[in-house]
Structure 1
Amino acid sequence: MTQATLPAVLVDAPLRPPVEGMRPTAAYGVLAGRLGAATVHADLRACLEGIDNVVRAAPLVIPPAMADVFSGGKRLRPLLVLAGAHAAGPPSASTRGRAVSGARAVELLHLASLVHDDIMDEAVTRHGVATISARAGNSRALLAGDYLIGHAHTAASALGAEAGALLGHTLVRLCEGQAEEASTLFDADRGEQSYFRAIGGKTGALIDAACRTGALAAGLDATTTRALGRFGHHLGVGFQLLDDLLDLTASHASTGKPVGHDIANGVYTYPTLWALRRDPGLRRLLEELARCEGPRTGPAGEAAHRVRASGALTATRLAIARRRERCLGILDEAVDGIGPDGVGLLADLAIAVLSHRDG
């Protein structure tokens, strides 16, 4: 799989949402096209219904009026768990059940991390919906996040001790990535190594865990499971690079955030770091922004314009393409463990996820 082209299945598969409120995406279209829409619909619905039951089970922790915080989204991580479980061929009913539990575990951990991120970022909204911390305060939001983490571990336990250990290790990596990012806010001297450490923990770790969890659900051998984890890591890093690119190019309507949101909050991502090495004026502007005590929208918008003018967007697209090629190369090595059909499924997913289709 060395030819990185958009798979034909994306053209033919209907991109209809499998559950109410979920965004139809190319990733869902790949799975529906290759595995059958009825199969993906049933497994994903079971996963999301389980999450909804968790969210609504303790109204003193998460009031029913706040359940909408956890609805919608692309649901990429549970889709990847399901893909990993199907990669070696049609799974048994037992394996499908294990995959649904694993998908629920990974998505619950992801949702918990978003709640905690909103506390740290003092975020008022996420994708246009008021956050728990904004509605009910940080104490309630912290409690809700911890509650979801507890249920994530319970769901992972259905797959055995190895899945539980994986979830715990993933949580550690999430915390390390978040701490790395927080330690470099408004730091114009931040290096690319710091950036990749941060996103390797914040985004790469969860997508790595999703792919490994699918492999564990299917009982794949250790070598293949590690390969799918590496695939997930590079997919996650590329996915975050794409998200950072969209922060500078996409509209507020499509992302739920103003253009240049990361710069305004002092998070200098790959495009900004690339531009900093080539535009001395950008450094002066960012230093001014760091001293700004009022709204940073104006300086952040000017900084975003300079980043775009520097050629950083092209450089970022090339970095995404390199991660996509790493994903495809790893799959070539894993063919003995999952077979050509499994390689084709995961390769199509990598190409779909690391395109601009869902931006």
Structure 2
Amino acid sequence: MSSLAIDDSALAEVLQPRLALVEERLRDAVAQSDTLADATSRHLVDAGGKRLRPMLVLLCAQLGDGARPEVLDAAVVVELTHLATLYHDDVMDSAPTRRGAPAAHEVWGNSVAILTGDLLFARASRVVAGLGPQAVRIQAETFERLCLGQLHETVGAAEGDDPVDFYLQVLADKTASLIATSARFGAMFGGCPVGVVDQVTSYGEYAGVAFQLADDVIDVRSDAATTGKTPGTDLREGVPTMPVLLLRRRVAAGGPGVEADRALLEAIDGDLSDDAVLADVVARLAAHPVVDETAALAREWASRAAQAIAPLPEGDVKAALVAFSEALVARAA
């Protein structure tokens, strides 16, 4: 995920030391007395990452009192939760790499990777318990949405459901829910008024959908060296993404170019186990207008994110949030 753009030097000077504290606490939180569990739990932490979610917590807390100690714990909670989902997602997607390193299941096997994700969820629960009942409830609701998003993505839309609308709800649950909670925790534990908390929560929800739509574009128009993820992973695993859903809609509607579209769709639905075949299909899809349409949808959702925080007072925090929503779109250009 694209990092938050903090152009204001004074704000950056405040946030960077606090992010360093979050990183320190994060490593303490994943440490295990068991040697194997310690190695597996540290695997993705050591692989790095932009720490977008904890940074979003810290940033939104600056709308109130960002120095409150609860803010740091909230930042650790959302990153632990995010890391836990990555262990599970990589197993379900059979992704060979994550953040430029071998995925945990490639090193230790599926069962160990899944159990490690569970361990991290448990650690996140321990930390959030110290933040009070409301935080525990929010964390539980977020975890529920994460699971539902993954479940619905796995099972697919029911007969009669609009596949595009269904997919957008999957994105809202699977990706946007935790980003929204990150913004919410920041404002909430920064002591902001309820109205501000609601505004940044909506911002996170819209930005999360925009991010995943942009990711759908990047999946076919980028490379592993840039993203740390094998291009076409979702295609190979048969995971529906917005470009493919829009292509299916085109084929169903008929019209000019439908034969070429149908041929591409048949290739997507075919055997993509061979790397050369996958690369060819990815290249063909990358050149198709449905990817541009997906990028346009990402811009639309990013615009909604910016509009959600329009009532916030002008300042460095609001500027950074707006810049981030714009950066989501730019990375999929």
Structure 2 length as normaliser, TM-score? 0.87
Q: How does 1:67-146 map to 2 (within 5 A)?
A: 67-71=42-46, 72-88=48-64, 91=65, 93=67, 95=68, 97-146=69-118
Q: 1:352 to 1:286 in 2, by over 3 A?
A: closer
CA distance in 2, matches of 1:87, 1:345: 12
Q: Which amino acid aligns with 1:116?
A: H
CA distance in 1, matches of 2:10, 2:244: 38
- Residue aligned with 2:28, SS: helix
Q: 1:66 to 1:99 in 2, by over 3 A?
A: closer
Of 204, 207, 213, the match for 1:241: 213
Matched with 1:345 is 320
Matched residue pairs, number?
322
User: Could you tell me how far 1:110 is from its partner in structure 2?
Assistant: 0.4
CA distance in 1, matches of 2:267, 2:327: 39
User: Could you tell me how far 1:70 is from its partner in structure 2?
Assistant: 1.9
1:30 aligns with 2:30: no
User: Could you tell me how far 1:165 is from its partner in structure 2?
Assistant: 0.8
User: Could you tell me how far 1:212 is from its partner in structure 2?
Assistant: 0.5
CA distance in 1, matches of 2:66, 2:170: 38
Q: 1:356 to 1:282 in 2, by over 3 A?
A: same
CA distance in 1, matches of 2:106, 2:286: 32
CA distance in 1, matches of 2:262, 2:37: 43
What is the CA deviation profile of residues 52-83 of structure 1, one whole-angstrom value per residue up to 9, with x for unaligned ones? 11222333452337623223111111110111
Q: 1:30 to 1:241 in 2, by over 3 A?
A: same
User: Could you tell me how far 1:131 is from its partner in structure 2?
Assistant: 2.5
- Once the two structures are overlaid, the 10-residue window that deviates more, 260-269 or 63-72, is 63-72
CA distance in 2, matches of 1:299, 1:282: 17
CA distance in 2, matches of 1:310, 1:300: 16
Q: How does 1:173-188 map to 2 (within 5 A)?
A: 173-184=145-156
Conserved? CA contact 1:173–1:202, under 8 Å? yes
Matched with 1:57 is 32
What is the CA deviation profile of residues 131-179 of structure 1, one whole-angstrom value per residue up to 9, with x for unaligned ones? 2222222332222111111111222233321111111111100011111
Matched with 2:254 is none
Conserved? CA contact 2:264–2:285, under 8 Å? no
Q: Which amino acid aligns with 1:261?
A: T
Q: 1:65 to 1:269 in 2, by over 3 A?
A: closer
- Residue aligned with 2:231, SS: coil
CA distance in 1, matches of 2:293, 2:82: 29
Unaligned runs of 5+ in 1: 1-22
Conserved? CA contact 1:87–1:346, under 8 Å? no
CA distance in 2, matches of 1:254, 1:102: 30
User: Could you tell me how far 1:284 is from its partner in structure 2?
Assistant: 4.7
Q: How does 1:207-226 map to 2 (within 5 A)?
A: 207-226=179-198
1:161 aligns with 2:147: no
Residue identity over aligned pairs, in percent, reads: 29
Q: Which amino acid aligns with 1:63?
A: D
Matched with 2:245 is 273
CA distance in 2, matches of 1:162, 1:255: 36
CA distance in 1, matches of 2:276, 2:7: 42
Matched with 1:8 is none
User: Could you tell me how far 1:181 is from its partner in structure 2?
Assistant: 1.2
CA distance in 1, matches of 2:164, 2:84: 27
Of 44, 69, 76, the match for 2:19: 44
Conserved? CA contact 1:289–1:296, under 8 Å? no
Of 303, 309, 328, the match for 2:306: 328
Q: 1:35 to 1:218 in 2, by over 3 A?
A: same
Q: Which amino acid aligns with 1:180?
A: H
CA distance in 2, matches of 1:36, 1:287: 49
Conserved? CA contact 2:40–2:113, under 8 Å? no
- Once the two structures are overlaid, the 10-residue window that deviates more, 280-289 or 125-134, is 280-289
Q: 1:301 to 1:109 in 2, by over 3 A?
A: same
Of 187, 204, 224, the match for 1:232: 204
State the superposition RMSD in angstroms. Answer: 2.7
Unaligned runs of 5+ in 2: 252-257
- Residue aligned with 1:277, SS: helix
User: Could you tell me how far 1:26 is from its partner in structure 2?
Assistant: 4.7
Q: Which amino acid aligns with 2:278?
A: A
CA distance in 1, matches of 2:276, 2:166: 27
